[in-house]
Structure 1
Amino acid sequence: MTVRSAWLLPQGQTREDTRLAPVSPVTHESPIRVRDGVLPGGAPFAATGAGAMQLQIGAGRAYVQGTDAQGAYPIANDAPVTLTFTDGDAQFGRIDAVVVRVLDALFDEEGQNLARIEIVEGEPDATPTAPTLPPASLRLWDVAVPAGTSAGVGGINWASALADRRRYTTAAGGIIPRGWGLGFNGAYDGQYRDNGSVLERWSAPAGEWQTYRAPRRTESTTTGFVVSSAYTLTSFTARRNPDAGLCSFYLDVSRKGAQLDVPAAGNVNDEAIGTLPSGWRPIIDADLSISDGYGEGTARLTTSGVLTLRTWSGNGSLRNDRSIKASATFMLP
């Protein structure tokens, strides 16, 4: 058997059916219905042109939801299935759907109990649309069949005719991978899905998918700054976010002893103020502004954490009775 379904055959579910068909709980759309879809892993139900009018569908596993009374059918396709499309209409194109379908004699009029991969043929039209599916069907691919298409004129151009319609499902509580169609609501508050670029979380109160942002891992310290002998440390505060690679600090110091006389050009020859602790230092040397409220200057912060005064413009001197403040934000290594 190629396409298998668990909990369907009245004569008994085989051991192979049980091993191959997925039977674990899956994501729900309501208290009784599951989110049907393809189970991710590899390239389930991949489509490959196998001839002018033939398409091969590869192995894969899925859940097909019937009515609420039917429940969901676990499906496994363990070998390639080849489908043959009928020739195109003479006047209009059409869209056919490739589906996994479950036939259950207890709930439909087909008189059979089996699962299969089949073509649901669309209606030819000047602007064709994909066909409505029969009950207990899961759409895998849509195939555009242009007017006049046949094996005799080259058949279907598989490179442009295929439209991927596989939607995915996963175990209860799992993250739903991106597949065809993102316009569905979450089933419960806190459900997650991958939209192809970011992780989204369903907010039941807001009734929408919201981009998930991990909690910021911030760390702070008020210790570890080693002040130089020429200065007195009043306060030091630093905060960093290792996930974002950012760090900022605020520093308040005052000069000891005599005031610093500054040459007319303002250069101070890199007088050391102190050193930031390891792990709180920039990825590249950074320049920052400092001020005592009257005069101001520039400082250099190196990758080794050394903070030095470089220039000062405060009427020719850096006084020792004023609080000098510095702050900066920079990238961590």
Structure 2
Amino acid sequence: MTVRAAWLLTGPPNGQTRTDTRLAPLGTMAPDGELTTRDGVIAGGVPLMATGAGAMQVQLGVGRALVQGTTAQGAYPVVVTAPETLTVTDGDAQNPRVDSLVLRVRDGLFDPTAPGQTTVSVELLVGTPAPSPTEPTLPPATLRLWSITVPAGASAGTGGLNWASALADRRRFTSAYGGIIPRGWGSSFSGSYDGQYRDVDGTLERWNATAARWETYRPPLAVESSTAGFSVASGYTLNTYSARRNLAAGLCSFLVEVTRKGAQLDVAAAGNINDEVLGTLPSGWRPALDAELSVSDGFGEGTARLSTAGAITLRTWSGNGALRNDRNIRTSGTFILG
């Protein structure tokens, strides 16, 4: 037996075997409602892959899936343990059609169209020929895996199907409860609960139940604030220091204000002064590269260099030819953390 289901009276007279239970995907899967489960393929390798096996034959590879029945009957864990080969019916004489390769569960306890049956199988549902054909409607407890376009007049005698263009992937994926649902066909589905996640071409999305939409997930920013650790230079008094760093983004911003206690600092006509250190940022809050800062005391302004060692060095000044010793000197900046 190569197609097996758990929770279905199949197989030997005693019903579901221990092997069925080991192979079929059991456990609480992603919900689709209060009592229903999101059906779909279980990711891992290339599960339930379809390939051409002859002019008019298709082969379905091994894999696992979940097939949802009615609300009353629940979902069936299914496993295909060996490749299954099926023959596609010859094409209509006039119009193309679209067939569906499916996993189908027949449970006569719930399905009046299958009285006395308790089977699971891989099947080809034959579509209706038409100038613009559509996929066949699925019966109860059926999961569509692949669609096969059958051109008018197609047969083994006319060369069969071009499998490269005939097959269309219809596998949608599911996962365990709380898991991230992989990208698959039909990715426009709505979420089932607030905080559900899915992967869309490498982008993680979270279902916002209040807004009823998928939103790109952005992890909380690791932001820290500090008002301690600034080492003020001799000859200055620290008035204010505050800093914030975002470790996820690798950025830091700070504000510092000091008051000069020493003698007045004379400034050359060109605005140059002897380099003078105002203080040093603490380790872990320093830039990856030297940065230039603007400095002001409310009357004059200048520039300072912030080094990778955290030192803030006053370098130029413009303001009445002197930097007085009773003014509050303020500077701030934002930089990439080292």
On whether the aligned pair clears a TM of 0.5, the verdict is yes
* Correspondence 1:69-218 to 2 at 5 A: 69-106=72-109, 107-110=111-114, 112-218=117-223
* Correspondence 1:45-64 to 2 at 5 A: 45-64=48-67
Deviation, structure 1 residue 113: 2.2
- Asked if the contact 2:31–2:192 (Cα under 8 Å) also holds between the matched residues in 1, the reply is yes
CA distance 1:293–1:81, change in 2 (3 Å): same
CA distance 1:90–1:224, change in 2 (3 Å): same
Partner SS state of residue 64, structure 1: strand
Number of residue pairs aligned between Structure 1 and Structure 2: 333
Deviates more, 1:105-114 or 1:21-30: 105-114
Aligned pair partner of 1:36 in 34, 39, 42: 39
CA distance 1:50–1:220, change in 2 (3 Å): same
Matched residues in 1 for 2:151 and 2:270: separation? 80
Matched residues in 1 for 2:127 and 2:113: separation? 21
Matched residues in 2 for 1:297 and 1:155: separation? 82
Note the alpha carbon deviations across 1:111-139, whole angstroms, 9 max, x for none.
53221112222222222222211111111
Matched residues in 1 for 2:125 and 2:25: separation? 25
Deviates more, 1:20-29 or 1:152-161: 152-161
Note the alpha carbon deviations across 1:21-75, whole angstroms, 9 max, x for none.
1221212222221111111222211223333333222111111011122221110
Aligned pair partner of 2:24 in 16, 21, 25: 21
Amino acid in the other structure paired with 2:26 = V
Alignment-derived partner of residue 275 in structure 1 = 280
Matched residues in 1 for 2:212 and 2:329: separation? 52
CA distance 1:155–1:278, change in 2 (3 Å): farther
* Correspondence 1:309-328 to 2 at 5 A: 309-328=314-333
- Asked if the contact 2:221–2:247 (Cα under 8 Å) also holds between the matched residues in 1, the reply is no
Question: Percent of aligned positions with the same letter in both sequences?
Answer: 64
Matched residues in 2 for 1:171 and 1:303: separation? 48
Matched residues in 2 for 1:314 and 1:51: separation? 89
Matched residues in 2 for 1:319 and 1:128: separation? 87
Amino acid in the other structure paired with 2:334 = T
Matched residues in 1 for 2:257 and 2:207: separation? 46
Unaligned runs of at least 5 residues, structure 1: none
Matched residues in 2 for 1:269 and 1:95: separation? 83
Partner SS state of residue 255, structure 2: strand
Alignment-derived partner of residue 8 in structure 2 = 8
Amino acid in the other structure paired with 2:196 = Q
Matched residues in 2 for 1:101 and 1:328: separation? 65
Deviation, structure 1 residue 214: 2.2
Matched residues in 1 for 2:20 and 2:7: separation? 9
Unaligned runs of at least 5 residues, structure 2: none
CA distance 1:222–1:51, change in 2 (3 Å): same
Alignment-derived partner of residue 307 in structure 2 = 302
Partner SS state of residue 50, structure 1: strand
Deviates more, 1:191-200 or 1:294-303: 191-200
Matched residues in 1 for 2:274 and 2:59: separation? 76
Matched residues in 1 for 2:276 and 2:154: separation? 83
Deviates more, 1:61-70 or 1:91-100: 91-100
Q: CA RMSD in A?
A: 2.1
Deviation, structure 1 residue 153: 4.5
CA distance 1:96–1:285, change in 2 (3 Å): farther
Partner SS state of residue 164, structure 2: helix
Deviation, structure 1 residue 154: 4.2
CA distance 1:2–1:229, change in 2 (3 Å): same
Note the alpha carbon deviations across 1:177-202, whole angstroms, 9 max, x for none.
22222332222233222233333332
- Asked if the contact 2:255–2:333 (Cα under 8 Å) also holds between the matched residues in 1, the reply is yes
Matched residues in 1 for 2:299 and 2:151: separation? 80
Matched residues in 2 for 1:212 and 1:197: separation? 11
- Relative to the length of structure 1, the TM-score reads 0.92
Partner SS state of residue 125, structure 1: coil
CA distance 1:66–1:261, change in 2 (3 Å): same
CA distance 1:151–1:316, change in 2 (3 Å): farther
CA distance 1:313–1:90, change in 2 (3 Å): farther
Matched residues in 1 for 2:324 and 2:53: separation? 86
